Amino acid sequence: MIESLNKYGILYCQMVEPRMKMVVEEGDTTHNLKSMRKAFRGTFIVAGGYNRENGTKAVAEYSTDLVAYGRLFLANPDLPKRFQINAPLNKYNRDTFYIPDPVVGYTDYPSL
């Protein structure tokens, strides 16, 4: 499926990393998206529970080109700066996701 996207000149593909890792052989765990990354010629973006450390590692090991940080970015409007200086992160409040209140949850997380 991913290889077929290449013939259309798709610029990027964003996929969500499964939270459970597949066990390929005894003691060997692997990310399910690595084979898709190898097959896709455009920019590959992953999401799905990444933090500063494992996101940086995924890029360094060429498992992806970019990492999307949804919940972390929501709770930390200055996430790039926090990653840069290794500052503590605000915890996100799942109870405020997708509610109609224009203030609570999406705009009330503190910056550094």
According to DSSP, residue 98 is labeled T
Structure confidence by residue, pLDDT tens digits, 39-89: 999 999 999 889 999 999 999 999 899 999 999 999 999 999 999 999 999
Q: Could you please report the per-residue DSSP string of 5-41?
A: HHTTT--EEEEEPPSSPEEEETTEEE-TTHHHHHH--
Residue 28 phi, psi (nearest 5):
-110, 110
Question: What pLDDT, in 10s, does the model give residues 30-50?
Answer: 556 888 999 999 999 999 889
Whole-prediction pTM: 0.80
Angle (nearest 5°) at CA 64 between 36 and 19: 75
